Amino acid sequence: MNLTRLFAYEVYPQKNDENPVAPSGGKIVQSTPLKKTLSQLIRDNRLETQTPIAFTVEDPKAKQRVNVVRESVLNFAFGRGDTVKNNAGYLALRLSEVMDGRSNPFLLLISCFKEGDASSIVLWAFPKDEGLQFSATANGAKVTVIEDVFNISSTLRKAAIFTGKNEENSLWEGRMVDLQSGRTDLWVERFLACRLSVSGVHGTTILSEHLSQAYRQTKSDSVREELFNAIIGVRTAPVRRTSFLKFANDYLGDGAKAEFLSIVPSEQQSMSFDFDRETFEAKIGIRVVKTPDQVMVAAPLQTIGNTVKIAGDRIDLSSQIESQYLKAGKRG
């Protein structure tokens, strides 16, 4: 990857300040040692395999998704002239405005690496003057490598990488590392406007496990019915991206939602992931069949071939009814 843009800022806490001041810094004249150091830091810290994150969207159903930080990252990578400088400055000021008195000053580096028509935007936060020495200049900033890369890597506190193209559906996901506090609220949620994200298969697997556990342990017939209906409903709904909290809000009433979310760890609830229907059906252990006359049969996998026989496009069911209920249809 070719380092094409690099900006540095001295960022101090300014949360709740009435008149926050733009952090000192700006564009860096790239030196060979600094280029090599940053490239090696990406490799040594395995940024592209770290914790996945995704930019949050206020209204997922809107025709055009909007996230101000994502827009700023996109403009920094693909903009021209003052657009690049202005968006780098916005990111530095935004970080200072979410930092309070408990946060130590950071050296924030904002870099862009280009490969073909794609770019990787990497944001780094280091303790001020540890490993990398910052100084403001008339035209921007200067950063000098004062320690070897091993020591610099050991001082890294936070980082994030977003890779993609200048396209509407690109650069919505990235990876992050936060070695300072073990929490993600400052760096991920408040600064980057992101949330933790997991792969579709992994997230869907966890969803099926939580639903199965909630279904098994509830003592309420109405909650069990809601959970079952949610399992059936999500299979045929046009679900693309969801989270455990969004699933609960979309498919469960108050009682079932409370029981379901009591099982989901708080740090998982806002994790977003792409719903994988095949994985869900395999993990949840239920096969649903719909006949031409709108009869729905939801059969646990262990019953297939026993009381429920499926051959080609035909299903035969032979079993005793244990319980039944009437469900009102939708009004026309």
Query: Which residue has better confidence, 310 or 15?
Result: 15
What is the pLDDT, as a whole number, of residue 234? 85
The answer on 266 and 144 residing in a single domain is: no
CA distances from 92 to 12, 42, 143 (A): 10, 21, 16
Token digits of residue 186:
């400052």
**Least reliable range by pLDDT among 70-74, 214-218, 269-273, 291-295:** 291-295
The answer on 6 and 147 residing in a single domain is: yes
The answer on 280 and 262 residing in a single domain is: yes
What is the pLDDT, as a whole number, of residue 68? 95
Look at strands 51-55 and 173-178 and give their pairing.
Answer: antiparallel
What is the pLDDT, as a whole number, of residue 65? 79
Residue where a domain stops, chosen among 196, 223, 252: 196
Provide the number of structural domains found in the chain: 3
What is the pLDDT, as a whole number, of residue 147? 58
The answer on 297 and 277 residing in a single domain is: no
The answer on 330 and 231 residing in a single domain is: no
Distance CA(7)–CA(38), nearest Å, equals 12
What is the pLDDT, as a whole number, of residue 151? 61
Q: Where do we find the tokens 């993990």?
A: 283
The answer on 161 and 65 residing in a single domain is: yes
Mean pLDDT value across residues 162-172: 90
3-state helix, strand, coil in the chain (%, to 5): 35, 30, 35
**Least reliable range by pLDDT among 80-89, 265-274, 280-289, 296-305:** 296-305
Distance CA(182)–CA(225), nearest Å, equals 39
CA distances from 189 to 69, 156, 256, 270, 310 (A): 11, 19, 28, 11, 48
Token digits of residue 204:
């869907």
The answer on 233 and 211 residing in a single domain is: yes
Would you tell me the crossing angle of helices 254-263 and 200-217 to the nearest 10 degrees?
A: 110
Domain of residue 165 covers: 2-196
Residue 24 φ/ψ, nearest 5 degrees = -70, 140
Query: Which residue has better confidence, 194 or 297?
Result: 194
Residue 256 φ/ψ, nearest 5 degrees = -65, -35
Give the pLDDT band (50/70/90) at residue 22. Answer: very high
The answer on 38 and 70 residing in a single domain is: yes
Residue where a domain stops, chosen among 161, 196, 231: 196
What is the pLDDT, as a whole number, of residue 261? 92
Mean of all residue pLDDT scores within the chain = 82
**Least reliable range by pLDDT among 229-233, 247-251, 301-305, 318-322:** 301-305
Distance CA(163)–CA(118), nearest Å, equals 7
Distance CA(179)–CA(177), nearest Å, equals 6
Strand, helix or coil for residue 93: helix
The answer on 60 and 166 residing in a single domain is: yes
CA distances from 177 to 125, 161, 180, 237 (A): 10, 9, 9, 34
The answer on 42 and 157 residing in a single domain is: yes
User: Would you mind telling me the total number of residues written for the chain in this entry?
Assistant: 332
Using one digit for the tens of pLDDT, what is the confidence trace for 114-147? 988 899 999 998 887 666 777 777 777 777 665 5
The answer on 8 and 62 residing in a single domain is: yes
What is the pLDDT, as a whole number, of residue 329? 47
Nearest CA to 52 out of 172, 165, 167, 169 is that of 172
Token digits of residue 147:
């320690």
Whole-structure pTM over 0.75, yes or no?
no
Query: Which residue has better confidence, 234 or 193?
Result: 193
The answer on 189 and 136 residing in a single domain is: yes
Using one digit for the tens of pLDDT, what is the confidence trace for 59-116? 655 667 789 999 999 999 999 999 999 999 999 999 999 998 777 888 899 999 998 8
Which segments of 156-295 are extended strands (E)? 158-164, 173-178, 194-196, 241-243, 272-274, 286-290
Residue where a domain stops, chosen among 244, 263, 284: 284
